[in-house]
Homo-oligomer: A and B are copies of this chain.
Amino acid sequence: MVGYAFMGAAHSQAWRTAPRFFDLPLTPVMRVLGGRDAVAVKAAADRLGWQDTATSWQDLVAREDVDLVDVCTPGRTHAEIAVAALEAGKHVLCEKPLANTIEEAEAMVAAAEAAAVRGVRSMVGYTYRRVPAVQLARQLVADGRIGTVRHVRVQYLQDWLADPEAPLSWRLDKQAAGSGALGDIGSHAVDLAQFVTGERLTGVSAVLETFVHERPVAAEFAGLHGSSGPDAARGPVTVDDAAVFLARLSGGGLGVFEATRFATGRKNAIRLEVNGERGSLAFDFEDMNVLHFHDATEDATTAGFRRVVVTEPQHAYVAQWWPPGHGLGYEHAFTHQVVDLVGAIAAGEQPTPSFADGLAVQRVLDAVERSAADGSRWVALT
């Protein structure tokens, strides 16, 4: 695994936990953790449970005892590492967004397709797909329970930048992060909508906004800007604070998307509502074990949104965990990701979401940026 910050901890817990609750056809071994700072990566490896460390990702990728590379680094390094790993014959799990540019993402897809011919697998980490309630949503749509989709509204709301004095970080730097709320959380919104509906976005009209243009530079970040003296106090925000966009779906429905870090009081609220001709679905990650489902074919006297507590043995992944009513948490979806990835590798099948699925999301993000830059005009996706 390369990277050991927030995502690294989540992935490590998943690799460690998956074989304890699920019957995996292959047994993962947590071999090497990669990071640039030798001392820090050693401490992280001890803490997270990796056997060895590497201070260059190239070394890690080259190791014979490594069969799979899990890429948990910032987006701008994804392409280089993932392509090299695939070419070295390692399966790759790559965190989202797939890449910071369309070009990089296309290169990754090409590498993934070439590798697949040799039986080498790749997957991109849109983990929210593997929340059991989201799986149920997908299943209900696929089973025709809500009929033709008319509306999708997805909001990914956070608030950690609502305070204008919140400090700069690499996530606010266009060079490092590619984009702001759009790529970081808007990408999840797009993937979720496409996954649950089983459709693709066919065009968008967008507005991007940066509400706060300068922020205090945190001490540890000051170096990045190479600044000193009085001006060192503040640095520019070069990415979007919020992204809002309209979309059409391949099935004819309308989508409304919103991704922001300025929704005061909403910490990690991923909300999806889908209205179909025969029913509706609603999900909010703040209550992640629940899916609301309305079946419009029922007698109007007792029809209503059902609060389905998605903790029954019939629900995806749940039978391996706890009895009904004992909810799962954030990191369980990462364990499910490991389960699905290992299962696909053992079965010789392509896991999803593939790099091509990841590229499809990137194309939407790119269209959003182009629309926003051109007076919100409609940008079609082919």
> Which residues in A have some Cβ–Cβ distance to B below 8 Å?
6, 9-10, 12-13, 16-17, 20-21, 47-49, 136, 140, 145-146, 150-151, 153, 155, 157-160, 162-164, 205-207, 209, 211, 242, 244-246, 248, 252, 254, 256, 258, 260, 262-269, 275-280, 285-290, 292-296, 299-309, 311-312, 314-315, 321-332, 371, 375-378
Is B266 touching A325 in the complex (CB atoms < 8 A)?
Answer: yes
Other-chain residue from B21, B209, B264 in contact with A280 (beta carbon distance below 8 A): B264
With A and B bound together, what is the CA distance between A242 and B133 in angstroms?
Answer: 28
A315 vs B303: C-alpha distance when bound (angstroms): 12
A158 near B325: Cβ-Cβ < 8 Å: yes
Q: What are the residues of chain B within 8 A of A258 when measuring CB–CB?
A: 151, 153, 256
Q: Is the CB of B329 within 8 A of A328?
A: yes
The residues of B that contact A158 with a CB separation of less than 8 Å are 325
- Min Cβ gap A173→B in Å is 19
Residue of B nearest to A288 (CB): B327
A153 CA / B269 CA spacing, docked (Å)? 14
The count of identical subunits is 4
User: Is A322 a contact of B275 with CB atoms below 8 Å?
Assistant: no
B279 A264 Cβ-Cβ under 8 A: yes
Nearest residue, chain B, Cβ from A270: B325
Q: A20-B49, A150-B242, A328-B329 are in contact. Are A205 and B376 (CB under 8 A)?
A: yes
**What's the Cα separation between A18 and B140 when bound, in Å?**
37
The answer to whether B280 touches A254 (Cβ under 8 A) is no
Say which residue of B47, B252, B286, B309 sits within 8 Å of A267 (CB atoms): B309
Evaluate contact between A162 and B275: CB separation under 8 angstroms.
yes
Measured in the bound complex, the distance between the Cα atoms of B117 and A96 in whole Å is 55
A129 vs B306: C-alpha distance when bound (angstroms): 25
A306 to B256, CA, bound (A): 26
Partner of A323, one of B268, B296, B301: B268
Q: A13-B17, A322-B6 are in contact. Are A275 and B266 (CB under 8 A)?
A: yes
Given contacts A20-B48, A49-B20, A287-B287, A265 and B304 within 8 Å (CB-CB): yes
Contact of A275 among B262, B280, B321 (CB under 8 A): B262
Cβ–Cβ < 8 Å partners of A276 in chain B: 264
Asked whether B162 lies within 8 Å of A277 as measured between CB atoms, the reply is yes
Set of chain B residues within 8 Å of A377, measured between Cβ atoms: 375-378
A251 to B269, CA, bound (A): 25
What's the minimum C-beta distance from A342 to chain B, rounded to whole angstroms?
Answer: 16
A130 to B278, alpha carbons, bound, how many Å? 32
Question: Which one of A280, A287, A303, A304 has the greatest number of beta carbons of chain B within 10 Å?
Answer: A304
Closest chain B residue, CB of each to CB of A158: B325
Supposing A314-B300, A325-B268 touch, asked if A306 and B305 sit within 8 A by C-beta, the answer is yes
Given contacts A262-B275, A280-B263, contact A301 B324 (CB under 8 A): no
Given A329-B328, A329-B332, decide whether A301 and B312 contact each other with a Cβ distance below 8 A: yes
Query: Are A265 and B296 in contact (CB-based, < 8 A)?
Result: yes
Which B residues are in CB contact (< 8 Å) with A321?
330
Q: Contacts A264-B275, A265-B305; is A248 near B151 (CB within 8 Å)?
A: no
CB distance from A188 to the nearest CB of B (A): 13
Beta-carbon contact of B275 and A294 below 8 Å: no
A379 CB to closest chain B CB (Å) equals: 9
Is B294 a contact of A314 with CB atoms below 8 Å?
no
Instruction: Flag if B300 contacts A293 (CB, 8 Å).
Output: no
